[in-house]
Amino acid sequence: MNVVPTFPLFRGKLMEDANIIVLGIPYDSSQSYGSGSRFAVHYVRIASDSLEERSSFSHRDVRDVNYSDRGNVDVPFGDREKAKSVVHEVLDELKPERLLVIGGDHSITPMVLSRFVEKNLVENYLQLDAHTDFYETFGTPYSHACTLRRVVEMIKGKAAIMGIRSYPPHHLDELEEYGVIYHTAFEGLPTQRLSRHISVIGKINYLSIDVDVLDPSIAPEVGNPEPLGRSLYDLLRVLSLASTYGDLRVIDVVEAIPSSATSTTAITVAYILREALIALGRAYERRNIFDSVLRDMVPPVLYPLREAAYFETDSSRRNRSLPTRAR
C-alpha cells in the first residue's frame, strides 16, 4: 500500500478494525501564493502531542474515539492524475467507514470526494473557506482555486460554503446559478441562522475546512491569508452542528503551511483535528436508523436546544448531580 508511516495524531494506536481512518495527503502542487502545505501533515501531528486529549469544548476525550492514523499517502509532487490514482488505491484498500484527511492544498478535496461519490457514500457537501474557490480554471481546472466548482460538478446533492470574504463579484451570481448555498463572513453566525443553513443543506456527508476561513490572527500560516476571518469558536460551532444533524463521513483540513510544530497555526490545526475526530466519532455513534429518525423529527428551530443538551458544561454536570433542597 502506498502509505508512509508517521508520528500518529494524538498518539493513536494502529488498528485494523478502526471505525475512523486518519490519512495525510501531502500534495500542494496547485498553491498559487504561499506554498508548503505538504509539510503540514508532519507538523500538526507533532503539535497534537502538546494538547490534552480531552476537549474542553465538546467535553469528550479523543482517546475514546475508535480511530487509527495510517500515515501519509505517498503522492508524487506535481502529477495530479498520478496523485489521484494513488489516493484512490489507498482508499480502495482501506475502505474507511469514516475518514479524516490532513492536507495538503485544497485540490486534494476532489481527489478524495470523487471516490466517495462513486460509491454513493457522499451526497451533501459543506466547505468552510475565505474564498469561493469557484473559478472554472486558474491556470488549470484542478487548481485549489477551482475546488468548489469541481465539487458541484461531481455531487448529486446540495453544496454550501460558509465564511467567504474574498471573491470576484461574478462568483456570487454563479454560486446562485449553480444552486450553491453561501454564507459570507459578514453575515454573522447566530445559532438560529446557522441552524437554518445546516437544515437547508441536509445531512452533511463531507466537510472541507480550509484553514484560511479563520482570521489570520488565529492561523496566520496559510496559503492565502485573508483578514476579517471567523473565530475558532465559530468554526467549532459549525463542526458540532454538522456532526449533530448531518451524517459526516469525511472531513478534510487543508491549506495550512505551519513553519514548525510549535507555531500558532500548527497548534490551532491540531486542535481542529481533535474536534474533527470527536465529531466523526459522534457521527458513527449516531449511524443507527432509530437515531436518524429521531434526528429528522427535530425542527430546525430546536437545533440549538438539542445541541446545548449534548454539549453540557462541566459546571452543569456538577450542578445536576447535586441533591435538591427540600421545599
Tens digits of residue pLDDT in 263-315: 999 999 999 999 999 999 998 887 754 455 555 555 555 555 444 444 444 44
Helix (H) or strand (E) holding 82: helix 80-94
Phi, psi of 91 (to 5 degrees): -65, -40
Q: Across all residues in the chain, what is the average pLDDT?
A: 87
- List helix spans (H) across 166-223: 169-177, 191-201
At 314 the pLDDT is 44
Are 214 and 168 spatial neighbours (Cβ–Cβ below 8 Å)? no
Sign for the pseudo-dihedral over CA of 31, 153, 71, 43: positive
Q: Helix, strand, or coil here: 254?
A: strand
| Beta-carbon contacts of residue 164 (< 8 Å; ≥ 6 apart) | 129, 130, 131, 132, 182, 183, 184, 185
CA distances for 138 relative to 93, 163, 170, angstroms: 33, 21, 15
Are 144 and 211 spatial neighbours (Cβ–Cβ below 8 Å)? no
Q: 454563479: which residue's cell?
A: 174
CA distances for 90 relative to 44, 73, 104, 162, 255, angstroms: 22, 7, 16, 30, 22
Return d(Cα 247, Cα 249) in angstroms, integer.
Answer: 6
User: Average pLDDT, stretch 166-185?
Assistant: 94
Return d(Cα 299, Cα 85) in angstroms, integer.
Answer: 42
Count Cβ atoms below 10 Å from residue 82 Cβ, excluding itself.
12
At 298 the pLDDT is 55
At 192 the pLDDT is 62
User: Average pLDDT, stretch 79-99?
Assistant: 95
Return d(Cα 51, Cα 61) in angstroms, integer.
Answer: 12
Domain annotation for the chain: domains and CATH numbers: 3-307 (3.40.800.10)
